[in-house]
Structure 1
């Protein structure tokens, strides 16, 4: 039958469709549609259902096929599609998740490209497990966070019967693929196996070494565990690690099945289109999609339609299905949060928050108010000048003033309308000669990135690329030659933000690599819209670097000193109000004398 002769039959009532077929890619949808014995006309969707369906039949089974939206692969999209399908076709009894996946050859399973893997309960595991692959891809361990329930018993019984039939008579996969190609001649080039398609397996410990395997004809079916997550795996070492950690039962990795979780009872069938390694490509995708669809057709051919009709429909749990998207969303956030936290710790274990709060605790409420209201500081906040350098002698209060600036920026709204830009992005560093081992230029750049990215989900691409390049190198082993890559990542991060970015540096004079750090940080300023606030002891070298920017001299103002002393005096128990041994008038006099004497001694520092 030629393509032009194909036709559809009238649609059946919705309650006569009993099998839901979900796929992720257009290639998989094509194979599924072409494998139907007949296609039915498509009625309009109920309100709120955004799926696009294909209706048809295989034998006496009436089937609903839905594909994930283009470019929306993953567990969440699969959950949404399944949810809407069940709401629109309430008589569906079980589901089939059919498409392509990455194969994991083992000593017990000689998996080849084009073979079929079927999710089957194995040992202590159900047919499909969901993994926190975000962690795994970062080079660490991974966490099993969910599972697809065991397939319905009617499917497990049919698998048992079909496996026996295959051993005795062989499978009908090739027959069904050939029939599909004959019926739909346009599919021949993409969905049929040809001599140009090479099946090459590389060693996981040496990606240049080809593993010798005996030639083998025909498609083989494998029954075992399928691992599902929201990350594409293109790493043979990671692939084998996943398999090893699940007792070598994993035969395939993919991205959608776990999104169906327990509320869409289904069987997962995957045609193997690659080996989940760095040689991943699409050459085998069409043929693998066809073999998976052909296996599904053969499986349905041995299940009596009357048995399916007698099953309890998924409608009885439809009320729970609406929860799938939210559950999966939380799982995705959980995965991303874990990955982000591990990444932040990998960037640098150094955290300046505790140091900041310690300095801030030493500041009296009105201390530094003069500075925050000073025209130069206001111009720095709102004008075009990108730097503000504040020089002052030791003891002038530069660090406490820096803590006041940080607190001000953390709450400052650059626009009257919050929706116009929101709060600023902020990163800060307190230089300290005691911590010099963790305050090299490369360490400071890692800290700036950490602070600017810690609230972002997902991580920006530039930051993920940085991690992929340096994941095996601990923070202590990074060197000056790595600064350029970290600087580029910081540039991309700042440029991608919709809010203003401020970098605050205290005590530049205590930076061990002053010239190198200043050169690197000013390169970032030149390439981005970031602004830099810095304090230092008087330094001609530093002052020259900040030439052309704003400046403000810091000195210990009598008002600030008095406010600070007044705030700390209650710590002296001898002068506290609870001490009745000293007359109140004398305590007041003593406090005033202390404030006056110390203020006079510090005046102008």
Structure 2
């Protein structure tokens, strides 16, 4: 994997409404198409520091652990992130201190659907994985004033002004079906007394992390949008997703974990080259596009997809997607095409 493709943190959402909530809190996220999937990238500066994270936002486009496992495995292979965070909305388990719009953080992720069918009924065979202990510890000590008073958080749909959403830590169960009955949650609580929520992507995400060679840190933070019962509705989804996004992005600003490149600094502002500059440079570069591709270590499989006669344009867009156009001057000088540098201006 080329260094320019690396990402420190991948934020995973199942639905577009969850992804859009995250994007609201990031600084100028760039849309990037990669391997038939659209992702967004942004640089997130740490508070009181010149360092920060390169963040990738990955939307699965649907629910389910199989989809989550496949997509997160690909993201780990492509980007080698230090952290995976699953966020969005989830069904909560009612408790005396929990209300709609609160957050749940999964310390333990438990699958409840596997089992053995017998003459006397179904014998449950639970599967369990854990979030990364260090991230859980940092999340437990993350103060409310660092995120809960963010002025960008949207209004509660019930019109109330509860001071701040609460963050609850415990067991989250996963399955492949949306729960909307009065039986399932009470039955699960008998086996898992610390149960706080239910959702459909956490185990697939955690399993992809567990099975990877690099084993990035992983945590799940979601907003409670319903109680997984007969009263399910869409009313609280937007707010729950927004609160979760506010928490996650502000949590990352606190620099909770060292990234793969501990000295990563904010990338340069992308130069604003005109379309005319692009046309003139590409016309004159001609067959030297191969040297330029070699300089930037563009993989062979990427080059094979270049449209014949438009290779320079493809390289330009490849660099633009990665905020690397500022490197063109040095590249042109290195391949002995200094005559083209003047086209880029000062």
For the 8 Å contact 2:135–2:256, the answer to whether it is kept is: no
1:164-563 pair list within 5 angstroms:
165-166=143-144, 170=145, 172-175=147-150, 178-179=151-152, 192-195=155-158, 216-246=162-192, 248-264=193-209, 265-303=217-255, 307-309=258-260
Shift of 1:38: 3.2
Which of 130, 133, 146 aligns to 2:127? It is 146
Report the structure number with the largest CA radius of gyration.
Answer: 1
Say which of 67, 84, 101 aligns to 1:77.
Answer: 67
Find out whether 1:156 has 2:136 as its counterpart. yes
SS of 1:219's partner is coil
**Quick one: distance in 1 between partners of 2:133 and 2:261?**
13
Q: Is the 8 A contact 2:11 2:56 kept in 1?
A: yes
Whether the 8 Å CA contact 1:99–1:292 is kept in 2: the answer is: yes
Deviation, structure 1 residue 41: 4.9
Change (3 A) 1:266 1:283: same
In structure 1, how many angstroms separate the alpha carbons of the residues matched to 2:116 and 2:23?
37
Count of paired positions? 245
Instruction: Note the C-alpha offset of 1:171.
Output: 5.3
TM-score (ref. length: structure 1):
0.38
Once the two structures are TM-superposed, the CA of residue 133 in structure 1 deviates from its matched residue by: 7.0
Measure how far apart 1:192 and its partner are. 3.2
Which among 29, 37, 43 is matched to residue 57 of structure 1? 43
Task: Name the counterpart of 1:103.
Answer: 92
Unaligned 5+ residue runs, structure 2?
A: 46-51, 210-216, 263-346
The answer for unaligned runs of 5 or more in structure 1 is 1-11, 121-126, 181-190, 198-214, 312-605
Matches of 2:166 and 2:231, distance apart in 1: 22
Shift of 1:283: 0.4
Q: Give the corresponding residue for 1:373.
A: none
Contact 1:51 1:85 in 2 (8 A): no
Q: What's the TM-score once normalised by structure 2's chain length?
A: 0.64
Deviation at 1:143, TM superposition (A): 2.3
Question: Structure 1 residues 172, 237: closer, same or farther in 2, change over 3 A?
Answer: same
Q: Structure 1 residues 133, 157: closer, same or farther in 2, change over 3 A?
A: same
Alignment of 1:132 onto 2:113: yes
1:105 deviates by 1.9
Q: Which has the higher contact order (CA 8 A, sep 6+)?
A: 2
1:305-331 CA distance string (max 9 Å, x none): 7x22368xxxxxxxxxxxxxxxxxxxx
Aligned residues of 2:92 and 2:196 also touching (Cα < 8 A): yes
Do the aligned partners of 1:23 and 1:99 also contact (CA within 8 Å) in 2? Answer: yes
Against the structure 1 CA distance between its residues 233 and 140, is the aligned structure 2 distance closer, same or farther, given a 3 Å change threshold? Answer: farther
- The residue that corresponds to 2:5 in the other structure is 14
2:103 matched residue in structure 1: 116
Q: What pairs up with 1:85-100 in 2 under 5 angstroms?
A: 85-89=75-79, 91-100=80-89
Higher strand share: 2
- Contact 1:100/1:273 (CA < 8 Å) preserved in 2? yes
